[in-house]
Amino acid sequence: MSEIPVDIDRKQAHRKAKREGVPVLRIEPWGAEIYLFKGVASYGERFERIFGHPSSMESYEEYEVGGFFGVDRASPAASVWVLVISEIAPEYPEEFIWHEALHATFMILDNYGVAFDVENHEVFNYTQAQIVSGVREKLYGLEGFR
């Protein structure tokens, strides 16, 4: 196993992700970045080629799931958010994308200290829509929401 870096070089990770066919979605105003992987079976190998260390997350390959969202905390100073969509998913799995985008929204906003309650839920709506729109554009070549 390779040594886990203290931090990652974002520009280098972006270049490697591009070579691996892994778009990066930046979520504003937080600056959070989600690496968008298509293919559960190849996720682990591509992750390691991009970041230089194995993913700390289970690949879920044996469960035949549509994919997963999570944060890879193997590099503590620079957690990496990933959304992985299975190669067995439908051509454009919209319901699944909305489902995972909700997980992503809660995890990212929780990471930035944003509470979800009746007085503060609008930011969750906009963040979820921003994630779905970005996945539509970056992974499927579809028009995003405006």
Domain boundary assignment for the chain = 10-140
51, 12 contact by CB (below 8 A): no
Give me 63's structure tokens.
Answer: 């469960």
Kindly report whether the peptide bond that precedes residue 29 is cis, defined as omega within 30 degrees of 0.
yes
Flag whether the pTM goes above 0.85: yes
Q: Which residue would you say has higher pLDDT here, 67 or 106?
A: 106
Nearest to 66 by CA among 83, 82, 50: 83
Nearest to 5 by CA among 71, 57, 108, 79: 79
Lowest mean pLDDT among 58-67, 96-105, 119-128, 133-142: 58-67
Q: What is the mean pLDDT of the chain?
A: 85
Distance in angstroms (rounded) separating the CA atoms of residues 7 and 139 = 26
pLDDT at position 31 over 70:
yes
Distance in angstroms (rounded) separating the CA atoms of residues 33 and 87 = 22
